[in-house]
């Protein structure tokens, strides 16, 4: 699939003035407002988007998982070529999304296929999709996803291939916009693979000053420097409590 036909990827994140995405500084005045506004801004500016991609670590604690997976019935063959996409045929409920968890090793086994999140109404009712590599997940893990009717797609052989993930999700779900929700490791992988088209940043009026807090993009490899980005501002909006929404396109 060419660049023209794959969905546009918008990296949507909350940042401090010094570009940090987590840490103590977020224990700030009006954080509740900014947490809610992060989702409101997305719904308002990207209403067509029904697919979001998020890293395995960012989901830790938020989604209930199981560790004790049932054994594979004797004689079961799990294909490493065919994506498991039958569940895509069942349409989404209105206002919900395909919530795609990037889990290259196949270690994140959700308890249910549908997200139940009272504290995060934006995600409530979303359907889970697992993005895995071909060689790393066990047969037991993939079989578990099949039994739970959780679709999975293979993106890369041994290493995650972000472009393949985007191409397959665009094609299978007929999507024009895909939202990338971080965290920084996943964002860094998408940046490196050249598949981020726009940044949508909710800038909270705080300064972290803590070098240990995570930036917008990090590499999987400690000594690797990710390529710089040049951006064009497409739109900006003042929010309540001195917040800003900044919308950039990535110069290619
Ligand atoms: N401010 C915001 O808007 C925002 C949004 C989202 C998240 N966050 C924060 O971000 C933090 C988590 O970010 P994170 O960077 O630690 O984790 P992450 O990006 O959510 O997930 C990283 C994991 O994804 C897998 N992965 C990603 N790229 C890969 C690649 N190229 N090859 C192989 N595996 C890859 C790996 O899983 P395995 O380890 O299983 O191999 C890796 O450990 C949390 O503090 C969260 O609160 C903030």
DSSP assignment of 89-137, as one string?
GSPPPTT--EEEEE-TTS---BS-SB---SS-TTTTTPEEEEEE-SSSS
- Give me ligand 1 centre to Cα 129, in Å: 16
Contacts of 161 (CB under 8 A, 6+ apart): 155, 193
The residue whose CA is least distant from atom 44 of ligand 1 is 58
77-99 exposure pattern, b = at least 16 Cβ within 10 A, e = fewer: ebeeeebbeebbeeeeeeebbbb
d(Cα 97, Cα 125) in Å, to the nearest integer?
8
Name the residue range of residue 196's domain: 8-18+34-67+79-201+218-250
Check pLDDT > 90 for residue 61.
Answer: no
Q: What is the pLDDT of residue 5?
A: 81
Ligand 1 atom closest to Cα of residue 182: 6
Least confident of 54-63, 67-76, 84-93, 195-204: 54-63
Q: What is the pLDDT of residue 122?
A: 85
- In-domain check, residue 73: no
The CATH number covering residue 232 comes to 3.40.430.10
Query: Is this structure's pTM higher than 0.85?
Result: yes
- Give me ligand 1 centre to Cα 187, in Å: 8
For the chain, report the end-to-end CA distance as a whole number of angstroms. Answer: 18
Number of domains in the chain: 1
- In-domain check, residue 27: no
Confirm or reject: Cβ of 164 under 6 Å from ligand 1.
no
134-176: per-residue pLDDT in tens? Answer: 999 999 999 999 999 999 999 999 999 999 999 999 999 999 9
Q: What is the pLDDT of residue 127?
A: 97
- Give me ligand 1 centre to Cα 70, in Å: 27
Quickly state the pLDDT bin for 60 (edges 50, 70, 90): confident
Confirm or reject: Cβ of 13 under 6 Å from ligand 1.
yes
- Give me ligand 1 centre to Cα 74, in Å: 35
Confirm or reject: Cβ of 105 under 6 Å from ligand 1.
yes
The closest of 173, 146, 56 to 104, measured between CA atoms, is 56
Quickly state the pLDDT bin for 2 (edges 50, 70, 90): very low
Percent of the chain with pLDDT over 90: 91
- In-domain check, residue 24: no
Confirm or reject: Cβ of 186 under 6 Å from ligand 1.
yes
- In-domain check, residue 52: yes
- In-domain check, residue 72: no
- In-domain check, residue 41: yes
The closest of 154, 141, 87, 78 to 114, measured between CA atoms, is 87
């Amino acid at each position: 699939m060419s660049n023209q036909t794959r969905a546009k990827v918008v990296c949507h994140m909350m940042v401090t003035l010094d570009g940090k995405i987590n840490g103590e500084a977020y224990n700030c005045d009006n954080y509740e407002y900014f947490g809610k506004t992060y989702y409101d801004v997305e719904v308002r500016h990207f209403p067509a988007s029904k697919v979001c991609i998020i890293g395995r670590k960012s989901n830790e604690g938020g989604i209930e998982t199981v560790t004790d997976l049932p054994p594979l019935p004797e004689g079961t063959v799990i294909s490493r070529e065919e994506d498991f996409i039958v569940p895509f045929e069942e349409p989404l409920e209105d206002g919900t999304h395909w919530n795609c968890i990037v889990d290259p090793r196949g270690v994140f086994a959700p308890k249910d296929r549908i997200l139940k999140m009272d504290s995060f109404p934006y995600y409530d009712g979303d359907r889970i999709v697992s993005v895995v590599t071909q060689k790393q997940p066990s047969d037991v893990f993939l079989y578990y996803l099949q039994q739970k009717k959780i679709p999975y797609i293979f993106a890369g052989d041994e290493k995650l291939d972000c472009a393949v993930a985007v191409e397959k999700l665009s094609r299978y779900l007929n999507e024009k916009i895909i939202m990338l929700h971080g965290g920084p490791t996943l964002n860094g992988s998408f940046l490196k693979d050249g598949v981020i088209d726009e940044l949508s940043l909710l800038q909270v009026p705080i300064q972290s000053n803590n070098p240990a807090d995570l930036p917008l993009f990090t590499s999987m490899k400690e000594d690797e420097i990710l390529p710089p980005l040049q951006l064009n501002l497409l739109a900006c909006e003042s929010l309540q409590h001195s917040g800003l929404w900044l919308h950039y396109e990535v110069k290619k």
